[in-house]
Structure 1
Amino acid sequence: MPETVRRIAIAVGAVGFVVLIVVLGVLNPPRPSGISTDRLGPERGEPVADYLARAKDSLSGTDTDEHWALVSFTEPLTPEQIPAHNGGLRIAAASHHVSIPRVHTPIVTVQLPAGDAVAVASADNAAWQLLAQHTADDRTNRVNALSVTRLRAGCACAVGLVVRGTLPQLRNLAAQNGIRAVQALPADAVATGFAIVPLLPEYQDLALPGTDDGPVPDR
């Protein structure tokens, strides 16, 4: 009998411990990890039409706060064209992508201080970032080297900007020629807490890279 009582006491104690852990979890929820799920740009494989509608909807509202927003272009821009496509708003980042048929090439996003001059120089900064990405894969290294060459030559490779402005300012920017989409985050989004994935001009049906079976050009 004592052994049976002891086993019952252990079982009750175990159940009580589990209940205590659950209660403590409810009363003291874990702190947020600080990792944000905010994202500017289409999801991988998202229909372009859906993203364009979603971006437009993100600009609706009447608040007067400033928002972080992604500007995507109808055609890639040269570095010198960047300042004419920000609507007069502060540029916080610029994304560059060297497009090569049937070759996957990296998108490089450069964080920027204020000023048009640094925005124009962002292509060269993107080239420096790629130079630091040497890998063991020969094809990747050749793609990166070609991207560096073209970026330094001033190619039309700017594909997106992150700006900060009010919803009316962003709506005005979205209506300008050459602007394909402007997508805004909620006003409380943290500056360093969101991913940036520009809508590439070559994405027409799905936001999805094409095949990677083509030759890498020498230049």
Structure 2
Amino acid sequence: MARIGSALALVAIAALVLVLGVTTPASRAPSATDTLGPSTDETAADYLARIGPPAEDDGQERWALVSPVRSVRADEIRGLVGDVRVSVVYVHVPLDRVQTPLLTVAVPDTESVLTRAVRDAAGRLGPGRDARGEAVTAAVRSRLLGDCACVAGVLVRGTAADLRRVADADGVRGVEVAPPAAAFARLAVTPLWPEREGTAVVPDDGPVPPA
């Protein structure tokens, strides 16, 4: 009887472990919770109306997305944002009624990397999924290597005073500031295309220009 009781106890323990394994969710890595940029269904006007640099300067540096009025060349970025630290350049080749990829270029603390960010973005292009995709890739690569005016936004880091100066600069459409505790690794950034007025729905029915 003792053996039967022990066996039943082991079965009960095994069943309990199984139930706990099914009902207890596995731990997951934290996801990005701090977002910068407009949502898909948000118009450019609505997005710009809700953002802005902090009203008070506490001396603490923050991440911020700077959106230019027009797409700019890489060598124009410094004139746009002044001496504020630039960490990421968001590159996008605007083609009429043709969807093109967003390319991100991390910028170490060197001006030479910043000024060649558009050309470097060409190396981040992936292959097209079909004939149209290959044509788009070829057209985009050609323009990037030509150092086109294709910078759609930049991620910077500075104090509230720094970011207010950037927001007031000529050629800046808007500056969205992340929360003070936002971490770079947990930022999800969707740049505001300079040509965007309405929502993010972009037609993809236009002819692809030659490379």
TM-score bin, normalised by smaller chain: 0.7 to 0.9
3-state SS of the aligned residue for 1:160? strand
Deviation at 1:141, TM superposition (A): 1.6
Q: Does residue 115 of structure 2 align to residue 120 of structure 1?
A: yes
Q: Which residue is 1:214 aligned to?
A: 206
Work out the CA distance in 2 between the residues paired with 1:143 and 1:85.
Answer: 29
Please point out which of 116, 140, 164 is paired with 1:171.
164
Work out the CA distance in 1 between the residues paired with 2:141 and 2:201.
Answer: 20
Work out the CA distance in 2 between the residues paired with 1:167 and 1:81.
Answer: 22
Deviation at 1:59, TM superposition (A): 2.6
3-state SS of the aligned residue for 1:52? helix
Unaligned runs of 5+ in 2: 1-11
Q: Which residue is 2:89 aligned to?
A: 94
Alignment of 1:51-130 (within 5 A): 51-56=47-52, 59-130=54-125
Q: Which residue is 1:158 aligned to?
A: 151
Q: Is the 8 A contact 1:95 1:107 kept in 2?
A: yes
Work out the CA distance in 2 between the residues paired with 1:101 and 1:40.
Answer: 25
3-state SS of the aligned residue for 1:141? helix
Q: Is the 8 A contact 1:74 1:178 kept in 2?
A: yes
Q: Deviations over 1:99-142 (max 9, x none)?
A: 11110111111111012221111111110001xx1143221121
3-state SS of the aligned residue for 1:110? strand
Identity of aligned residues (%): 36
Work out the CA distance in 2 between the residues paired with 1:80 and 1:62.
Answer: 29
Work out the CA distance in 2 between the residues paired with 1:205 and 1:68.
Answer: 25
Q: CA RMSD in A?
A: 2.2
Deviation at 1:54, TM superposition (A): 2.1
Q: Which moved more, 1:148-157 or 1:82-91?
A: 82-91
Please point out which of 201, 204, 214 is paired with 2:197.
204
Q: Which residue is 2:139 aligned to?
A: 146
3-state SS of the aligned residue for 1:77? coil
Work out the CA distance in 2 between the residues paired with 1:153 and 1:137.
Answer: 24
Unaligned runs of 5+ in 1: 1-12
Q: Is the 8 A contact 1:59 1:183 kept in 2?
A: no
Q: Is the 8 A contact 1:68 1:163 kept in 2?
A: yes
Work out the CA distance in 1 between the residues paired with 2:92 and 2:135.
Answer: 15
Deviation at 1:67, TM superposition (A): 0.5
Work out the CA distance in 1 between the residues paired with 2:201 and 2:68.
Answer: 17
Q: Which moved more, 1:91-100 or 1:136-145?
A: 136-145
Q: Which residue is 2:8 aligned to?
A: none
Work out the CA distance in 1 between the residues paired with 2:191 and 2:61.
Answer: 20
Q: Does residue 28 of structure 2 align to residue 35 of structure 1?
A: no
Deviation at 1:171, TM superposition (A): 1.1
Aligned length: 193
Q: Which residue is 2:180 aligned to?
A: 187
Work out the CA distance in 2 between the residues paired with 1:116 and 1:190.
Answer: 24
**AA paired with 1:128?**
G
- Scaled by the length of structure 1, what TM-score is found? 0.81
- Scaled by the length of structure 2, what TM-score is found? 0.84
